[in-house]
Chain A
Amino acid sequence: MRSTFLTLLGLLIAGSGQLTTARQDARSIVAGMVTQDRDGDATAEVRMEVVDSRGRSRFRTLTLWSRTAQEGERQQLIRFTAPADIRGTGFLSLQNGAVREAWLYLPALKRTRRIAGTGRNDRFVGTDFSFRDLEPERVDEYSYALVEETMLDSSAVWVVDARPGESLDDPYSRRRLWISKAESVLLRAEFHDQDDLVVKSYSASDVRQPPGSTKWRAHVLKMESPGEGTRTVLEITSYLLDTGLDSAQFTKRSLERGG
């Protein structure tokens, strides 16, 4: 679902950095990161670059608004701003627990359409992110193990392995997560398939505090698919946190109001 993209963007963008210095168990490290990510609301300008296996790039820019109304209730609105021919195209995603609904607005038709779900494992808008990759971590459905505490570039990190429970239809047998100790931000992730091969790898950089906020955010997010030779880079050019967005900004009417 489109909404999952927004969820993850929101997750990644809204990830907050409560300083955690004490040694913790793996589950609480991840839970801490997730909980803090979901706090508040965010408005971000995003520049999206999709690179195909022959090294050719496709650029799009979009604005993303996201908000967590209460636990498990996520509201997200995305609107493309460039290239010109898709300017104003919008997606609205409302998630309430397990129920998720998504709408699409095409300005050329001046019409909103509800979008039926697609698979969680499908690619999102031709990017290297799948819908599942973009969903918030479901802490209860995975088991976590702390692998080591080490340095990644110049950041101290926890390295955590996440394995799905038996019942999950998860394409990844294991994900290895690098979470910064200082900011509690996911800096790197490797997605392993059933044969324990790395099929995708995620990395985040340019971690800093958006203006007027004490939270830490990565501003450049990259997902690579080594098997396919493709990658997607999301660069956040403007970040505003906790500006007090309300529910009225996440309706079909606001979707249709246009860019």
Chain B
Amino acid sequence: MVWQASGLEISNSVDAILPADHPALLQDREIKSVFESREMILIGFLLDEGIFNQATLQKVADLSGEIEDITLMDPATRTRLAERYTRLPERYQERFLSAVRESSRARASALAERMWREARRDSIGADAQGLLEELRLRTHPVSEVLSLSTVDDIVATEDGLALRRPMPVVPVSSAAMSRLRTSVYQNPLFVNGLVSRDGTGILVLVEMSFYYDDHIEVAKDLLDSLSAIVRTYEGPEKTVVAGVPMVNVFTSSQMNADLARLMPLAIGVLFLVLWYAFRSPMLATVPLVLVLITLAWTLGIMALAGRPVTLVVSAMPIILIAIGVADGIHLITEYRAQWPLAEDKRSALTATMGTLAGAVVVTSLTDVAGFGSLASSGLASIRDFGVFTSVGALVALGLSLTLVPAVLVLLPPPPPLREEGRLPRVPGIRRHRRRPILIAAGALVLVAGLLIPTLKTGGTMVGYFKTDSEIAEASRLINDHFGGTEVLNVVVDTHEVDGLKDATVLRGIAAIQDSLEGLDVVGYTASIADYVARMDQVLTGRDQILGQDRVEDESDPRDRARIAQYLLLYENAGGNDTEKLADFDYRKANVVVQIRTDRTPILREVRNVASRVAATMLGASTSVTYAGCSNLCIVADDLIIPSQLRSLGTAALAVFLLLLLLFRSAWQAAAAMVPLVITIMVVFALMSLFGVHLDAVTALIASIVLGVGIDYSVHFISRFKFFLREGSGSEAAVQAVRTTARPILFNSLAVGLGFSVLLFSSFWPLIHIGWVVGSTMVLAAVLTLTVLPALLPRD
């Protein structure tokens, strides 16, 4: 299982967060394939003195060339791939080996491409096809490099028109340099797209030849390789690498680093706590062994199921540690209490299991109910988190009932629990305090209720990192200088062949672009309308179709012919940059919008502006849809609140039914829920108060609090019912508080400490989970010991 877990895939792209069959995701793929567009990696050269100098531009040209020829075939990869040749049908083996060993990138790529196509036709099986696919991508990982030395510019020549690279060679003379500068700034498509408006930054855009999520390992290698190449160009220019694929890779590596750092830390902290509690390092290791086995099994099962570790899921190990340790604490505490009364270890354990097995089973089942309800979430990562945390809780339950007693039998007898330790002096809850407690609780509910409506929702990716992290700085610099790292695709569908040749449609598109560019956060837009306008400008010297030189308001019937002929001319001149902006038969246009933030509420606002303008400027026969990472972020975000409310409702209901079954009293079951309801309200109120946004990750907090916190109520009411057999309700309540206060408070402190290691995470949402859960678990414990007894019947 540990070995299985090593095969886990770590990814936090938005694709991994949404369920694979979500319509928005399918539509996104469809649109991307129509326009053959994939996320871009942005490489920036920044120089305050200005980038229009020979040395910097030479770097841009050299880097563009180097990246166009990049391959991901280091010696280790060659060896690894070569070792797998037997997975291929025999007729491919020899060619595969020669392609793997081939030193010429072009030749290796052509061989790989040919085999891959041949194999796809022959259906050689997924494993073999995957191997050929990997070779194909590694020998050709970049489909396009866009920079001043590679893209086409539409320019007027003395007596005609030409499509040529703005910078076929790097200018040497200052006259040539200033001509380049002038021509670049004359084309609106370049400003903020490839060079910064103020001339202090220049970009090289790299498009991968595959989708990030389809081949995460290859993508990581590519980005590592790109970063290493870019570093060799550093100075005096500052070089930065950003873009969504880069954020994804950085997130994955930070998640890895987080897990490697936080898990040992959590286990270390809990070991010290347990050692102190049990007065025995040997006993302290028992719950930890349970936790480690639980983690190995759960992560192994997850790997077998082929689910990726997302940022949401990366919180799971810490939660499993908390859950697993809680069971261990209860069992060992009781064992130590039973030991002095029993003849031998075996009978002490039998008594322990007799007393606690039921409670352990029920608390585990409430965990399963709390986390399992997340399986109904609309977000794949939350669903995974719910399912696998439940699986982990069940594994921990199984181990608690079997492994723990088995190990305890083998260990030397425990140090006995001292009497004062077992029944500490906690102030009993007197009847006359009932009213003030309920009033205080009511006030807490009221304050929380007032704060909750101001809770903000909305995720981010870059914003999850601390501001001094490499990726946050790179993103900020790119966003400061250029159009923006985030892309929203506004897809305008005319539903008819050649519909885009209608001038009113192009004007509608231009109007959408104008409105979007009016927003501070939008730094750049591009569409087929820009190309038509550029051709118009170059060929006629005026902007007649779309711009200010238009004579009348009505559509000129000649516009259609003009647009069609411009587009024909463009194709004819060998232009292919419009392929990403209009589909094959000019039905659909892809308006590329670059945005300088990935905060979802702002992305949503941008999308709303586009929708509003589209509704007024485009006819009813034209429809607008959205794609791109930004859109998926909005879609994912929209799913969070309804889906969280549903999950919480389901969880609360499931927990209530379990309690009803256990207590056989609707009143007791309902009362047991009250401390948790108040705690969850306080959770949301705290988040609101401290500006923590509700997003896919922080949305988990309420479920964690419910799943873990309900255990206190279970223990409390179990004790209460036990004492109720011997006396009145009020006495039973006092007794229950006296006997459970220490384990409950201690348990909540242990869980809180366990969660507090998340404060050392690299990700803000996990840090938030750390402090919010850490602090509210203690609150849940206190409420359980005060409000709950106040609600139970006196008689």
B565 contacts A86, C-beta separation under 8 Å: yes
Beyond known contacts A119-B574, A125-B568: 19 more, CB 8 A cutoff: A2-B572, A58-B585, A83-B564, A89-B565, A91-B572, A103-B160, A104-B161, A106-B566, A107-B561, A108-B558, A111-B539, A113-B159, A114-B159, A115-B160, A116-B163, A123-B574, A124-B572, A226-B117, A227-B113
The 4 A-B residue pairs whose C-beta atoms are closest, nearest first, are A114-B160, A116-B162, A85-B564, A108-B562
A83 contacts B498, C-beta separation under 8 Å: yes
B161 contacts A113, C-beta separation under 8 Å: yes
- Report 12 cross-chain contacts, Cβ distance below 8 Å, ordered by A residue: A85-B564, A86-B564, A107-B561, A109-B540, A109-B565, A111-B540, A118-B573, A125-B572, A194-B106, A194-B107, A195-B114, A227-B117
Residues on the A chain within 8 Å of B568, using CB: 80, 86, 89, 125
CB-defined interface of B353-385 with A at 8 Å, one 1/0 digit per residue?
A: 000000000000000000000000000000000
Q: Is A170 in contact with chain B by the CB < 8 A criterion?
A: no
Closest to A197 in B: B114
B565 contacts A106, C-beta separation under 8 Å: yes
Which residues in B have some Cβ–Cβ distance to A below 8 Å? Answer: 106-107, 110-111, 113-114, 117, 157, 159-164, 498, 501, 539-540, 558, 560-566, 568-569, 571-574, 576, 584-585
Q: How far is the CA of A89 from the CA of B113 in the complex (A)?
A: 39
Residues on the A chain within 8 Å of B164, using CB: 116
Q: How far is the CA of A103 from the CA of B573 in the complex (A)?
A: 11
Residues on the B chain within 8 Å of A195, using CB: 106-107, 110-111, 114
- Please provide the chain A residues from 107 to 156 with a CB less than 8 Å away from any CB of chain B in the complex: 107-109, 111, 113-116, 118-119, 122-126
Q: How many residues of A contact B (CB 8 A)?
A: 37
Q: Is A193 in contact with chain B by the CB < 8 A criterion?
A: yes
Q: How far is the CA of A80 from the CA of B569 in the complex (A)?
A: 12
A115 contacts B162, C-beta separation under 8 Å: yes
Q: Is A253 in contact with chain B by the CB < 8 A criterion?
A: no
B574 contacts A118, C-beta separation under 8 Å: yes
Q: How far is the CA of A84 from the CA of B557 in the complex (A)?
A: 12
B160 contacts A107, C-beta separation under 8 Å: no
Most B C-beta atoms less than 10 A away, residue of A84, A85, A107, A111: A85
Residues on the A chain within 8 Å of B157, using CB: 114, 116
CB-defined interface of A225-254 with B at 8 Å, one 1/0 digit per residue?
A: 011000000000000000000000000000
B160 contacts A56, C-beta separation under 8 Å: no
Distance between B103 CB and nearest chain A CB, rounded to angstroms: 14
B574 contacts A106, C-beta separation under 8 Å: no
With A115-B160, A194-B106 in contact, is A126–B564 under 8 Å at CB? no
Residues on the A chain within 8 Å of B501, using CB: 85
Residues on the B chain within 8 Å of A23, using CB: none
Q: How far is the CA of A43 from the CA of B142 in the complex (A)?
A: 45
B574 contacts A56, C-beta separation under 8 Å: no
Q: B561 touches which one: A2, A52, A108, A113 (CB < 8 A)?
A: A108
Residues on the A chain within 8 Å of B560, using CB: 85
Closest to B111 in A: A195
Residues on the B chain within 8 Å of A111, using CB: 539-540
Closest to B584 in A: A52
Q: How far is the CA of A91 from the CA of B573 in the complex (A)?
A: 12
Closest to B34 in A: A54
Distance between A172 CB and nearest chain B CB, rounded to angstroms: 13
A109 contacts B585, C-beta separation under 8 Å: no
Distance between B498 CB and nearest chain A CB, rounded to angstroms: 7
B110 contacts A113, C-beta separation under 8 Å: no
Residues on the A chain within 8 Å of B574, using CB: 118-119, 122-123
Residues on the A chain within 8 Å of B569, using CB: 89, 104, 106
B573 contacts A85, C-beta separation under 8 Å: no
Residues on the B chain within 8 Å of A106, using CB: 539, 562, 565-566, 569
Distance between B122 CB and nearest chain A CB, rounded to angstroms: 15
Residues on the B chain within 8 Å of A116, using CB: 157, 160-164
Residues on the B chain within 8 Å of A193, using CB: 110
Distance between B149 CB and nearest chain A CB, rounded to angstroms: 15
Residues on the B chain within 8 Å of A84, using CB: 561
Residues on the A chain within 8 Å of B163, using CB: 116, 118
Q: How far is the CA of A103 from the CA of B164 in the complex (A)?
A: 17
Distance between B31 CB and nearest chain A CB, rounded to angstroms: 13
Closest to A51 in B: B584
Distance between A98 CB and nearest chain B CB, rounded to angstroms: 19
Distance between A145 CB and nearest chain B CB, rounded to angstroms: 23
B565 contacts A107, C-beta separation under 8 Å: yes
Closest to B33 in A: A54
Most A C-beta atoms less than 10 A away, residue of B111, B574, B585: B574
